[in-house]
Structure 1
Amino acid sequence: MEEVLALIEKKKQEFAKSGLFEFMRDTSIDPRQRLAFAPCVSPFVMSFGEFNKYVFREEPTNDPLQVIVNNHTYEDDHHWLWFLQDLETLGINRSVKFSDALNFLWNEETKASRWVSHQIFRSAFGASPTTKLAILEVIEATGNVFFSTAAPIAQELRTITQQEFLYFGCFHLAVETGHTTGTPEVDQLIKNIQLSEETRQEAVKIVDNLFEVFTELTDELLVYAKTHSFEQPFAKPWDILQPLKAA
């Protein structure tokens, strides 16, 4: 498993160079605009809670690796609640028609968020505990890059609004870095897992694929943040420009 973990670390460093994170670190941009993409990650965030409850978790089990997976799922299956609270704090929770909300969640602008969810489900459903651990390691790696970049933005917003941000802020980052799978004992146990050549190849293929779709997601989020105002997150770019042209 150590070879797979080394690949994940390599891919993580490449993932961290995504244009989205450069955009998020640009303090010349209003911090609210740097999180203007927040609604777009809804399909993934809301699905992730269910992945933990119904796909990654298997109970009862006597498999020590599945026990590790199960423990991890109990730490991650409720983070969507923090996301909903942050949407409210960001002022994104405005009234929209139900049909408009459905159209937003299933249109081209959120396609990558849905696709990440589909690929995780495809890879994890019915998989062995070893494969599930590899998938969780990818999710943790990409999440660490994202939340490490988002936390300073949330801190800026906290100073401006005097309100806490749980999902995008330091609170979530601290929880992610404090996972039981991040303890030295568990890390060493995972590293010491012996993989057959077939399992190793499968894990490498999954790791490559998931990093690819997570990168596609960051590309999608960057486009959205650059073309949508945080003040009108659900408006089409041309809807915003029309009044300006008329003026």
Structure 2
Amino acid sequence: MKDVLIQIENKKQEFSQLPLFDFMQNKSIDPRQRLAWSPCAAPFVMGFGELNKYFLRAEPTDDPIQKLINKHTYEDDHHWLWFLEDLKNLEVDKSMKFSDALRFLWSEETKNARWLNYQLYRYTLQATPIQKLIVIEVTEATGNVMFSTAAKVGKEIKEITQKECRYFADFHLAVETGHMAGSSTDIGQFIKDITLPEQTRQEAFKLVDKLFTVFTKFTDDLLVYANTHKVNYPLKIG
């Protein structure tokens, strides 16, 4: 498993170089504009809890890896509540007709957010614990890149508006910083020491590549959305 974790770390470093993260770090742009993509991410964020509850979690189980996964899912299945709070603080929580909301959530603009969900469901439905573990590790890796960047933007917004974010904040980053493989000495070493048959190992490498591909498409769409949806209420200091 150690080789697979190394591949994930290498892919994470590539992922961190995507244009969205340069955009989010550009302090010449209004900080709220740098998170203007948040509505576009809604299908993924809102579906993430169900990924944990209905696809990753499997109870009861005697499998030691699945037991670790189950514990992890209870830590990750409610983050969408923080996202909803932040939409209000970012002032993108606007009233619209129910039909308009549905039209947006199933629009071309959010298609890769939905596609990301479908792929994660696909790769975890009836998956082995090892396959689920890989999905979690990749999701945690991409999440760490996103939230370590977004938390800094959240701080800037708080300084200007006095409104504190929870999803786009250190509060969220604190629970996203570690992969399961790095969550504790014992657990991390247990995961790293897992021996994979050669065929399973090669399948794991392919799965990592596929997962990073769909996360990259999703992330690229977020930047497109932020660049085409300007914030209507510019923030001003003082």
TM-score by length of 2: 0.95
Distance in 2 (CA, whole Å) between partners of 1:34 and 1:141 is 21
**Structure 1 residues 15 and 178: alpha-carbon distance in aligned structure 2, compared to 1, 3 A threshold:** closer
1:177 CA displacement: 2.2
Question: Where does structure 1 lack aligned partners over 5 or more consecutive residues?
Answer: 233-247
Equivalent position amino acid for 2:75 in 1: E
- 1:22-101 to structure 2, matched below 5 A, reads 22-101=22-101
How many residues end up aligned between the 2 structures? 232
1:131 and 1:203 in contact (8 A); partners too: yes
Alpha-carbon displacement from aligned partner over 1:30-87 (angstroms, at most 9, x marks no partner): 0000000000111101111001011100111111100100010000000000001101
Is residue 75–residue 179 contact of structure 1 (8 Å, CA) maintained in 2?
Answer: no
1:185 deviates by 1.4
* Partner in structure 2 of residue 107 of structure 1: 107
What CA distance in whole angstroms lies between the structure 1 residues aligned with 2:107 and 2:79?
24
The match for 1:189 is 190
Give the CA deviation at 1:180. 6.0
- Counterpart code for 2:216: T
Equivalences for 1:1-247 in 2 at 5 Å?
1-177=1-177, 182-231=183-232
Moved segments of 4+, more than 4 Å: 178-181
The 2-side partners of 1:231 and 1:127 are apart by 44
Does the CA-based 8 Å contact 1:71-1:180 persist in structure 2?
A: no
Task: Compare 130-139 and 192-201 and name the one that shifted more.
Answer: 192-201
Amino acid at match of 1:188: Q
Identity in percent: 59
TM-superposed deviation, 1:186? 1.0
Report the RMSD for the aligned CA atoms in angstroms: 1.2
Q: Which whole-Å CA distance do the structure 2 matches of 1:152 and 1:64 have between them?
A: 37
Aligned partners of 2:137 and 2:180 also within 8 Å: no
Amino acid at match of 1:215: T
Distance 1:108 1:157 in 2: 29
C-alpha contact (below 8 Å) 1:57/1:73 kept by paired residues: yes
Is residue 11–residue 211 contact of structure 1 (8 Å, CA) maintained in 2? yes
1:241 maps to which residue? none
- Check conservation: 2:140, 2:179, Cα contact below 8 A: no
- Partner amino acid for 2:230? S
Cα distance per residue 1:199-236 (max 9 Å; x no partner) = 1122111110110111111111111111111228xxxx
Deviations 1:160-202 (A, max 9, x none): 1111100011100011126765112111111111111221122
The runs of 5 or more residues in structure 2 that have no matched partner are 234-238
In 1: Cα distance, 2:93 partner to 2:227 partner = 20
The amino acid of 2:217's aligned partner reads E
